[in-house]
Amino acid sequence: MGLMDWAKGQFIDIIEWTEPSQNEILSYRFTRHKNEIKNGAKLIVREGQAAGFVKEGQLADVKTPGMYTLDTKNMPILSTILGWKYGFESPFKCEVYFISTRQWTDQKWGTQNPVMYRDPEFGPVRLRAFGNYAFKVTDPGTFLKELVATDPSFELYEISAQFRNAVVSRFIDALGSSRIPMLDLAGNYEKVSKLALERIAPELAKMGVSLTQFFVENISLPPEVEEALDKRSKMAVLGNLDQYAKFQTAEAIPTAAANPGGLAGLGASLGAGVAIGGQMGNAFAGAAGAPGVVTPANTHPPAAAGAGGPPPLPGAVAFHAAIDGAAAGPFDMAALAAHVHTGKLNRNTLVWKSGMAGWVAAGTVPELQGLFADVPPPLPG
């Protein structure tokens, strides 16, 4: 190579950066011998890039996409050719940093632990949330000074944790200030996302970065709270418990008819359940009538029809019974089953109904034998 070819090599220089697609590099320092820039060198800045010049430790200039010719007229540096008197080594050097200004999408965020949230209906609850966001460098100079510094290859992983913490912290603030009921959050993800975006953007702008997108993918409750909420939803779906009980009874009749004891045992069990449910209802009604006082349900039926309640329905079988040494009743089958359940009525209890000649033991009445199907007989002797 001749002297002219060597000299031409000193005058020609191209400064550019082709970012590898598989790498997540946010900033790259251009590598050259002793960081010297030749007079007349070409600078190529592609779309999605910016170039920052650092001279003597200070940011001197930032170039946007385009092709530039670098010389002493438009750059605050001296080129190699001016340093010939120093043996081709210029004492003035410049570092060139390429900064990626493209949009970085699908960045994940999420709460590591549940956060407390005051719900107007359920009170304090714990919520988890996660989603994704996108950002881009919009102020290369600030980004270079605040984050890159002298890092020759500044990659995404070096700042992703800081971004994620800032995003989660400001999202929690936005969620708390929204005052949206927990059960309505699913229909307000867009509103919450906009509130969070407004809170997060100023935080990242201090580092020369803009948050371009923010999405909430899911807001959920801890498993134990979700389980309790599912139970509440199940009760709401069942609705009228009386109608549900009737439906369950109708479904159980075919199975009960095929089992030992038949429908008689089923009738006794259902009767006891209905009676207990009625007594619980009476207890709640008594409590409602006297605020602050819980009145126990009256387990003694009225002494006579009409004395303390309505008479039995027409066509219903009604028996009087000797309970606690006194005649009580009349009782329908459900009430008699309840007394069997509590032990006040057994096979030897005297009963009577209209049309009978006198009082007889309950165990001898065919109509009542089904009530004692699951009750063992008295011990011999």
Question: Six-digit token pair at 84?
Answer: 């010939």
- pLDDT tops 50 at residue 264: yes
Cβ pair 337, 268 in contact under 8 A: yes
Cβ pair 191, 181 in contact under 8 A: no
Cβ pair 27, 143 in contact under 8 A: yes
- pLDDT tops 60 at residue 314: no
| Higher local confidence (pLDDT), 277 or 259 | 259
Per DSSP, the three-state class of 126 is: strand
pTM to 2 decimal places:
0.54
pLDDT at 320: 85
> Which residue type, as a one-letter code, is found at position 33?
H
- Residue among 176, 159, 157, 156 nearest 111 (CA): 176
pLDDT at 42: 87
Neighbours of 69 (CB within 10 A): 12
**pLDDT tens figures, 33-51:** 666 777 778 899 999 999 9
| CA-based R_g, the chain, Å | 43
Average pLDDT of the chain? 75
Q: What share of the chain is helix, strand, coil (3-state, %, to 5)?
A: 40, 25, 35
Which residues, other chains included, contact 12 with Cβ-Cβ below 8 Å and sequence gap of 6+?
38, 40, 41
User: What is the mean predicted confidence (pLDDT) over 3-17?
Assistant: 60
Provide CATH code, domain 104-226: 3.30.479.30
Confidence band for 135, pLDDT divided at 50, 70 and 90: very high
Q: Dihedral through CA 15, CA 18, CA 20, CA 25, nearest 10?
A: 60
Neighbours of 53 (CB within 10 A): 21
β-strands 14-15, 41-45: how paired?
Answer: parallel
Q: Which of 64-68, 74-78, 342-346 has the lowest mean pLDDT?
A: 74-78
**pLDDT tens figures, 244-255:** 677 677 777 777
**pLDDT tens figures, 328-337:** 878 888 888 8
- Domain extents in the chain: 3-100, 104-226, 241-307+316-372
pLDDT at 223: 80
- Order of strands across the sheet with 25-29? 58-63, 49-55, 94-100, 25-29, 153-155
Confidence band for 72, pLDDT divided at 50, 70 and 90: low
Beta strands in the chain (DSSP E): 14-15, 25-29, 41-45, 49-55, 58-63, 66-70, 94-100, 104-110, 115-119, 123-137, 153-155, 209-220, 319-323, 326-331, 350-352, 360-361
Tell me the angle at which helices 262-289 and 241-258 cross, rounded to the nearest 10 degrees. 160
Which residues, other chains included, contact 328 with Cβ-Cβ below 8 Å and sequence gap of 6+?
300, 301, 302, 303, 320, 321, 322
| Residue 104, phi then psi, degrees to nearest 5 | -105, 110
H or E stretch at 190: helix 189-205
